[in-house]
Amino acid sequence: MRIRLMQMNSVVGDVRGNLERMIAAVKAAREDGVNALVFPEMSLAGYPPEDLLFRPSFLDALSDAQKELARHTQDILVVAGYAYEGTGLYNAAAVMADTRTVARVQKQHLPNYGVFDEARYFTPGEGTTVLKWDQWTLGISICEDLWYPDGPYLRQARSGANLLINISASPFSRGKSQLRQEMMATRADDAAAYLVWNNLVGAQDELVFDGESVIFSPDGRLLARAKAFSEDVLTVDLDRTPSQHRRWIDPRWRLGNSESAAVTVVEVPLSAVTDQSSKNAFRVEPLPDTVESLYQALVLGLRDYVEKNGFGDVVIGLSGGIDSALTAVIAVDALGADRVHGVFMPSVITSNTSFQDAKQLADNLRIDWREIPIKTVMSSFMRELGPHFDGRPVDLAEENLQARIRGTLLMALSNKLGWLVLTTGNKSEMATGYSTLYGDMAGGFAVLKDVLKTEVFRLARYVNRDRERIPQNVLVKPPSAELRPDQKDEDSLPPYDILDQILKGYIEDDMTPEEMVRMGLDGEAVRLTVRLVNRNEYKRRQAPIGIKVTPRAFGRDRRMPITGRFS
């Protein structure tokens, strides 16, 4: 069998646009002698469609699109993801052949943790369906169904399926790729069947889907893998003999199937699968390492957010610090230098070193550079506010006022010129509230929102691996908000190498302060960090959305009450 995986970047809600791309892919596959073409989970709808699923007009559009796609399936079997109404609302795979829909397979395990809310929308599917096609028997499942060791895939294999197809929309997070690969190798080996896993690629709001679609042999060997973080077409020729042989020599497959009476068998209305005269070589794309995959996720997340939402250019407040520098590099790699604008907004406190570093960054990246001093604006504010401050000493109010002036200037440029403001705060700052509400938090998209400060430094070194893009001085000088003379981040926070360990333990692993102290972390630093995290939830709720890259991101992933007294 010649099977093709279309690792596709669907757009949520663009049913017509997604459909047109899928029809073109069906026609191309037929011309290439492909027998079976597989699209990802929710490929017609985009994922996640969220409350669009409550709109009857959206479901009608999906139904019409699926029927139209089926009309193009002469001489080819096509599997595509969508949602449909039956006795409930189902996340489903439509199986189409001979210009009609031959089966609709429902997702049975609905994820309802982390970023997933599928139980809010869908009804769990039931039963076991296999499709008979010449000497092949196909079992089809959807994403989460494969993560359960005794899930639908295993019942399908025990019912004779020698080719298991799983369509997926599995989002990226740090360390997940290897976990998925190991899990799928085990599933293929347990089922003694080919396992075809086709994953969505692209970004949707906070989520990034990394692709990396794969095909495993019946003994759990990796045969083929598509590219990471980009659309790809993976075509292979499969021989059913390895699966048949595994089952002949393994006595577990001679025990019969007690579930056979509950299996729905669907005959595929196509002629026999023809042998292909030329074999497609198995292509295995490399998995990016930890830092490279993190960087690619940020680039893809920003690019798709800008492009899919119809923005043109982006603007960044350049401070001369490492966060704004890395954000600018990511923006250039995502959109091109001609669409990135940097604005330097010095105050009376801003050092000449910051000016030189910010200007050198703009020159290195060849982006538009603008300077808007805030000294005069700050003086005007202080003149008006002075009588109301009642002679009190300078404190956070004056510091935050500088940040809010800068935020106002960037938003004014956004309004006038149509540029999307990218905020530059990282996860360490978001976690501890080391940021200014309506100041440096003002903007439309937070690229580094889920990236800890220590990871920011690793990424900065990564983008400088071939040439200096971020000035070397930015990488070595102590981080500073530069809102008061000689200010350093460590005046207010534990050192970042300690802080980030505490944040990972508390936010991602739900560890208690006592557990972290027993690990050897400084007790005072732990208590300070936990207190800061707890009391700054109100700030995070008002921050712009950003790209999820860790197992526990702020926002739709980690949901904590603002008002609460649990300590």
Closest CA to 207 of 347, 42, 18, 32: 42
Catalytically active residues are 41, 107, 143
Phi (first) and psi of residue 538, to 5 degrees: -60, -35
**CA-to-CA distance for 41 and 210, rounded, in angstroms?**
13
Q: How far is CA 172 from the centre of its chain?
A: 5
The answer to whether 261 and 155 have CB atoms below 8 angstroms apart is no
Q: Degrees (nearest 5) of the Cα angle 210, 212, 216?
A: 150
Burial of 441 (0-12, 13-18, 19+ CB in 10 A): buried
Q: Which helix (H) or strand (E) holds 110?
A: none
Give helix then strand counts, H and E, for the chain.
17, 20
Question: For residue 452, what are the CA distances in angstroms to 76, 202, 427, 456?
Answer: 48, 23, 5, 6
Question: For residue 248, what are the CA distances in angstroms to 19, 120, 222, 255?
Answer: 42, 44, 22, 11
**CA-to-CA distance for 435 and 15, rounded, in angstroms?**
39
Phi (first) and psi of residue 8, to 5 degrees: -110, 145
Q: How many CB atoms lie within 10 A of CB 210?
A: 28
**CA-to-CA distance for 229 and 232, rounded, in angstroms?**
9
